[in-house]
């Protein structure tokens, strides 16, 4: 996205309660947003266009320009028009793509009037830095740190410069709620997740949803188990060592997650923590009809039995036999781990 001045863009800076906002040429009050923030309607998306009640949605990308604006921003069709597209092609990543859509669907559209009705430029809370994205403090933050995600989580994965998450689809349900961050809040209980022991206690839905974007919603494994959305569940949901995403209805195989738990435990020194982690794996795998799940469950239960009998941590992961080793290799192969 270019930083040049567009129709209806920023013209005046206004300071209020210690926070700097901007006023566009058309009088819109432009508040600064964080990377990955999203919303609907003004000032960053049209309202009542083309019909009364139609609200377009917007999302801020992960890059910030040197001039202080979100470099990648996205526009989404209102729900009514989205339904007509049957879930495809309602995400716009640039002005030209929007113009192409408008000229195709609304031949008599006033393009300039459309873009003048909202602000394409989005001022960022963050400032660009050669070492990544540097976050500027907001008025509500402690002077000792900065709150940079919607949930106020200073260790939110969205703020990590290394290994950034794939782009996620727009969500106009939970992600528009104040204080909810898709990158660190459980979709079931809305509380933040923990990254302890490589994030063993949560699962992220990485199903490809719309236009190549992933769902990206996360849930505590324990919350999903208690809600009958994980593990092996009968009835209409019919899960077999799987996780069912509440948002997009996609299923994620959990055998690979249980295997991840086992691998995590090989570097954990505390037997109590090992038991806690492996108990999650047992709950995930119990009752499954999958051969790989049964083999892995047998292995985990064998390790748990050793711990209960008082074996030292260094010994519990020793393979009992070559057959057991072969079984684990088969599990790894079936879930694409080796």
- Which pTM does this prediction carry? 0.60
Q: Is residue 196 part of a domain?
A: yes
- Tally of structural domains, the chain: 2
Report residue 166's pLDDT band, with 50, 70 and 90 as the boundaries: low
Least confident of 53-57, 64-68, 95-99, 115-119: 64-68
Structural domain of 223: 165-316
Give the range with max mean pLDDT: 30-34, 194-198, 241-245, 334-338. Answer: 241-245
Q: Where are the beta strands (DSSP E) in 86-238?
A: 91-92, 126-129, 132-135, 202-204, 218-220, 230-233
Q: How far apart are CA 334 and CA 193, in angstroms?
A: 28
Residue range 64-87: mean pLDDT, rounded:
80
Q: What is the pLDDT of residues 212-228, one digit of tens each?
A: 778 889 999 999 999 99
pLDDT over 70 at 269, yes or no: yes
- Asked whether residue 93 falls in the same domain as residue 180, the answer is no
Higher pLDDT, 334 or 199: 199
| Interhelix angle 291-308/322-334, nearest 10 degrees | 130
Whole-number average pLDDT of the chain: 79
- Asked whether residue 192 falls in the same domain as residue 300, the answer is yes
Q: DSSP letters of 100-134?
A: HHHHHH-TT--HHHHHHTS-S--BBSEEEETTEEE
Contact 305, 311 (CB under 8 A): no
Q: Is residue 323 part of a domain?
A: no
- Asked whether residue 101 falls in the same domain as residue 236, the answer is no
Final residue belonging to a domain, choices 123, 155, 189: 123
Q: Is residue 254 part of a domain?
A: yes
Q: Is residue 292 part of a domain?
A: yes
Contact 254, 203 (CB under 8 A): yes
Q: Is residue 174 part of a domain?
A: yes
Q: The tokens 């260094």 sit on which residue?
A: 314
- Asked whether residue 66 falls in the same domain as residue 208, the answer is no
- Asked whether residue 176 falls in the same domain as residue 302, the answer is yes
- Asked whether residue 181 falls in the same domain as residue 305, the answer is yes
pLDDT over 60 at 243, yes or no: yes
Q: Is residue 8 part of a domain?
A: no
Q: Is residue 199 part of a domain?
A: yes
Least confident of 5-19, 70-84, 146-160, 207-221: 5-19
Q: How far apart are CA 82 and CA 228, in angstroms?
A: 31
Higher pLDDT, 252 or 83: 252
Q: Is residue 41 part of a domain?
A: yes
């Amino acid at each position: 996205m270019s930083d040049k001045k567009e129709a209806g863009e920023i013209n005046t800076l206004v300071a209020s309660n210690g926070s700097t906002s901007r006023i566009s040429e058309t009088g819109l009050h432009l508040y600064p947003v964080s990377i990955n923030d999203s919303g609907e309607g003004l000032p960053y998306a049209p309202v009542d266009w083309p019909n009364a009640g139609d609200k377009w949605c917007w999302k801020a990308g992960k890059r910030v320009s040197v001039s202080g604006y979100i470099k990648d921003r996205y526009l989404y069709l209102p729900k009514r028009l989205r339904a007509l597209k049957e879930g495809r092609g309602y995400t716009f990543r640039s002005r030209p793509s929007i113009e192409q859509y408008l000229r195709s669907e609304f031949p008599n559209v006033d393009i300039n009037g459309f873009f003048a009705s909202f602000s394409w430029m989005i001022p960022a809370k963050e400032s660009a830095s050669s070492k990544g994205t540097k976050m500027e403090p907001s008025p509500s933050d402690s002077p000792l740190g900065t709150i940079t995600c919607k949930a106020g989580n200073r260790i939110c994965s969205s703020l990590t410069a290394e290994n950034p998450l794939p782009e996620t689809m727009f969500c106009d349900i939970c992600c528009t709620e104040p204080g909810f961050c898709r990158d660190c809040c459980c979709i079931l209980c809305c509380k933040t997740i923990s990254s302890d022991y490589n994030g063993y206690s949560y699962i992220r839905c990485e199903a490809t949803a719309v236009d190549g974007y992933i769902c990206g919603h996360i849930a505590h494994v324990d919350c999903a188990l208690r809600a009958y959305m994980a593990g092996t569940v009968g009835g209409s949901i019919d899960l077999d060592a799987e996780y069912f995403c509440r948002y997009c209805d996609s299923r994620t195989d959990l055998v690979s997650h249980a295997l991840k738990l086992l691998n995590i435990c090989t570097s954990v020194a505390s037997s109590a923590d090992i038991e806690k982690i492996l108990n999650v794996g047992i709950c995930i795998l119990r009752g499954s009809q999958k051969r790989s799940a049964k083999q892995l469950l047998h292995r985990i239960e064998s390790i748990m039995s050793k711990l209960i009998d008082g074996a030292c941590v260094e010994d519990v992961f020793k393979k009992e036999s070559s057959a057991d080793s072969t079984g684990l290799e088969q599990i790894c192969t079936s879930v694409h781990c080796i």
